[in-house]
Amino acid sequence: MLLTTSSLRRLATLLVIHATLGAVPTQADNALPTTVATAGEWRPMQAAYAQVSAQRQAVLKLPFAARIRSLAVEPGARVGPGDTLATFDAPQLRRHLAAWQLARHGSELAQQQLKVLRQNRRENTITRGELLAGEQTAAKAVAEAELAWQTLAADLDLLNLAMDAEDLAQRVDAHGLSRVARELGRLQAPFAGMVIARRATLGEQLAAGDPILELESLKRVYLDVEVAESALPNWQHGQTYWPGTSGKIALQPLGGVPRLDPDSGLWLLRFTADNPGYRLHDGAWVEVQHLGEPLPVAWLPAAAVVSRNGRHWVMVSSAGSFKPVEVQTGAAGSDGRIPVTKGIGPGTTVVTEGAYELLYRDLKDLIKFVD
């Protein structure tokens, strides 16, 4: 078997270590500092990125052709439910209002005439057939007024205007048809949110269904958190939050089956959260943190754990000898301790100094020969 120059150089270095430490436990080994792992609990902390999305979005438009008279908001403006966003003139709305007004007056007149006919019938001044004809005329007029109101009410519902027929009739009688029609020509916010786009311009003549504004509700938001498959069990239990610079915002899991993101290969967990001050913006990527459920662990000084190639070891001391044991650990804390989740339990005695040298003192594991 032939040793390369690099192998010979490495062998010479390791022989010095071997001569210093010895191949078997010595009194110096036995004198190495040790500690006993203590029982406790530890909550794993993990971080991941999440994309924010509004829980509610709407493109606001009119069900009929209209001309924009004013636009009251700019993109970025926050609005409440019922706030006026724009005003407009709409011929269809005026026609439906006028048709209802005409039908309403016709119904009132027909019912007044029916009262007279019934009085005349009681006085036997008209025939039963004349009364029946009057009743049919009144019923038709009432039906036409109801149909006209339903047509107008459909327009008002689409505009998010809550109107009672009797109240609207009083307004028309008091202020006139033209003024009321102008007052009704306004677009209201259907919910509290933020204006994210303005799609119409002042004075523009819009066709039915043309967009005017885009509104999104950021009072509550969704957060889709990207998590590796191995971490899914931990993320589905515990507390998740966005740290923020002005205080934490708690996230509530929506449950359901995680979704695979084919682009990243990660799994998406959906959370929802309140959004005070609209601090979380639609489409933004934010880092969220998750505090897992408490786990029973064995606590050790961080210096007792040796890490190499992503694996972790401790040197267990027993009866004057040392044995390497592979362990799984969490992140070391600010107090210099590290939680061991698997490999050893509380009460185990481990080396706290020189563990690295003890672990790698076996030359046969370190030297690689080249034939």
For residue 50, give the amino acid letter: A
- pLDDT for the residue 173: 93
- pLDDT for the residue 191: 87
Q: 133: which 2 tokens?
A: 């004809």
- pLDDT for the residue 361: 66
State pLDDT tens for residues 222-278: 999 999 998 998 898 899 999 988 889 999 999 888 999 999 999 999 999 999 888
- pLDDT for the residue 307: 87
Each as own residue / partner, the long-range contacts of residues 4-13 (CB below 8 Å, 24 or more positions apart, any chain) are 4/370, 7/367, 7/368, 7/369, 7/370, 10/366, 10/367, 11/363, 11/367
Please tell me the distance from the alpha carbon of residue 176 to that of residue 164, in angstroms, as a whole number. 17
Query: Are the beta carbons of 221 and 196 closer than 8 angstroms?
Result: no
- Ranges of residues in the chain with a pLDDT under 50 are 1-29, 362-371
- pLDDT for the residue 369: 37
- pLDDT for the residue 30: 53
Q: What is the DSSP-derived secondary structure letter of residue 82?
A: T
First to last CA, the chain: 5
Please tell me the distance from the alpha carbon of residue 123 to that of residue 349, in angstroms, as a whole number. 115
- pLDDT for the residue 177: 92
State pLDDT tens for residues 31-81: 788 999 999 999 999 999 999 999 888 999 998 999 999 999 999 898 988
Backbone φ, ψ for residue 142 (5° rounding): -65, -45
